[in-house]
Amino acid sequence: MERRKYPLYFSFPALSVFLLFFIAPTLIGVYYSFTDWNVNADSISFIGFDNYKALFGEPRLGKALSNTLIFAAAVTLLQNAVGLGLALLMNEAIRMRNLFRTIFFMPYVIAPIVIGYVFRAIYHPEHGIVNEALGWIGLGSLGQDWLNDPKWALFSIIATDIWRVAGFAMVVYLAGLQFIPKDLTESASIDGASYWRRFRHIVFPLLAASFTVNVLLSVIGSMKVFEMVMVLTDGGPGYTTEVFYTYIRSTFSMGQMGYSTAINLVLFVLVTVVGVPVLMALKKREVEM
Amino acid sequence: MEHPGRKTFVSAIVFLGALVILVPFYMILVNSFKGIRESALFGMGLPSSWNFDNYKEVFDKGNILRGFKNSFLISGLVVVCVTLFASMAAFVIQRRDDRFMRSTYLLFILGLIVPVSIVPTIRLMGELHIRGTYFSLIMYYTAVLLPFAVFLLVGFMKQIPRELDEAALLEGCGYFRLYWRIILPLLVTVLITVTIVVMVSVWNDFFGPFYLMTDSTKWTIVLQIFNFVSLYNTNWGIVFAFMVIVIAPILLVYLLLQRYIIDGLTAGSVKG
């Protein structure tokens, strides 16, 4: 049967919605980022690179850039470390494994904004559970004003996101572990291989697919973080936890549309630069299938 | 050769981890029954007196039902659009496999990673005279979620043998019937995955309605929370009660369908 005969128009609904509501705004955005579009002004005029000149002159962009990258790197690393650790623990013949799996995955189905509000209470300097719990185990002196101390604010946001997404990584790893034949690790164990060596040389290589997926999803997802930061610190104190989307939101609410579009475009470039290797990996995985 | 204490140790760590997940949920629940002063202490103890006024207050002022209705309407319609459009597209993208379809596929894959340009999107909705409508939000979500659905479905289409198409076409079956009667039923398991991912993403999303919905009667439940907390942020008891009302139905559905939901949300990534 000839391939050509499959009707092209089947792809039109998806393609037109995608082109109109995703690609078009992206392209229009390129134009507007070179204008002085502002809600308080009647006309929009072309101003060349002025937005970008102003933007790169602001230390705030540097903060947004470094915080977004730190957040993405930390979440990717920790989500995978915690997720893998939990999966390995759960893979030991533990009772009620399914119950624990359900519990660990639970935060993932709750809206991030709700989790943000809950953690605002949890991090409360006087009555929050974190400081209370530190007090119970005699480490009360380690208590902090987690969200208002510039030293701890970003860390606290990262920890919250780990709480939210670690269970997701765990489930993906747990699924990968099911495919590793038991006799493989058992025979290695009989041959005297230590736990670490078995993990390093047998288990981990066989988890490569799960690892790729988890890393890809964390990297891409965490660079687009928004409501979690907005609710917990709104980029503060000062700009110490500013990320791209909170920066965009604050210039947007001041009516500086052209300027905020320029920030969005910088994020676009950043995600693309980091995302291209990711894209390659996705394509490669597909070839292997 | 297994250390006897080992299993206990492993269980203890897992148990502690589970506690870290559960304690915040418990904290919301128990404090939602406390008065304004007691709830501000975020204590773990039971309320000194059980106070149901918080819930009454939320039901009176929170427009809960309207929020749920909007969330349900919007996410349901996005599910319909995404599953239908993506499966039709994946069908011809994978089967034709020519240059045009390959570039289309690549374009969709690009959409998997790049962020949306939100301010120009608002402008575009204005130009099209659909700003603030349900339709605009549904189209926005459809556009954002199509790449993932297309990616997943194209991968799955490869497993459906072409011989099936050939046999059907030889029998005189048209392409639309082929898609509707043969291909679509074979895609059902993936479409369930797509449905779960779309439902969860749209239901929990804040970004979209925050920028695109100006009319409070069309707010989703998540935007309703945001607005409610800005008004009542001095009374944690009421805020917690609102959260319980919002989280409870989701957790109920999650606990009932947990196998499907967990498998769906993760399979979306694993099987890719």
State whether A17 and B81 contact (CB < 8 Å): yes
Q: State yes or no: pLDDT of A196 exceeds 90.
A: no
Q: What is the pLDDT of residues B135-152, one digit of tens each?
A: 999 999 999 999 999 988
Q: For residue A277, what pLDDT is reported? A: 80
SS (H, E, C) chain B: CCCHHHHHHHHHHHHHHHHHHHHHHHHHHHHCCCCHHHHCCCCCCCCCCCCCHHHHHHHHHCCHHHHHHHHHHHHHHHHHHHHHHHHHHHHHHHHHCCHHHHHHHHHHHHHHHCCCCHHHHHHHHHHCCCCCCHHHHHHHHHHHHHHHHHHHHHHHHCCCCHHHHHHHHHCCCCHHHHHHHHHHHHCHHHHHHHHHHHHHHHHHCCHHHHHHCCCHHHCCHHHHHHHHHHHHCCCHHHHHHHHHHHHHHHHHHHHHCHHHHHHHHHHHHHCC
Report yes or no: A200 and A127 within 8 Å, Cβ to Cβ: no
Q: Chain A: residue nearest B109 by CA?
A: A279
**Confidence category of residue A195, pLDDT binned at 50, 70, 90:** confident
State whether B243 and A114 contact (CB < 8 Å): yes
Report yes or no: A89 and B18 within 8 Å, Cβ to Cβ: no
Which one of B116, B266, B271 would you mutate to disrupt binding with A, by most A Cβ within 10 Å of its Cβ?
Answer: B266
Q: State yes or no: pLDDT of A279 exceeds 70.
A: no
**Tokens found for residue A74:** 């930390």
Which one of B29, B105, B117 would you mutate to disrupt binding with A, by most A Cβ within 10 Å of its Cβ?
Answer: B117
Which one has a higher pLDDT value, A275 or B75?
B75
Q: What is the pLDDT of residues A68-89, one digit of tens each?
A: 999 999 999 999 999 999 998 8
Q: What is the pLDDT of residues A139-191, one digit of tens each?
A: 877 888 898 889 999 999 999 999 999 999 998 888 888 888 878 777 887 88
> Smallest CA–CA separation between A276 and chain B, in Å?
9
Residue B35 touches chain A, beta carbons under 8 Å: no
ipTM of model:
0.89
pTM attached to this predicted model:
0.89
**Confidence category of residue A289, pLDDT binned at 50, 70, 90:** very low
Q: What is the pLDDT of residues A134-143, one digit of tens each?
A: 888 888 778 8
Q: State yes or no: pLDDT of B217 exceeds 60.
A: yes
Mean pLDDT computed over every residue of chain A: 87
Chain B residues inside the 8 Å CB shell of A171: 262, 266
Which one of A35, A90, A118, A124 would you mutate to disrupt binding with B, by most B Cβ within 10 Å of its Cβ?
Answer: A118
Q: State yes or no: pLDDT of B267 exceeds 80.
A: no
Q: What is the Cα Rg of chain B in Å?
A: 24
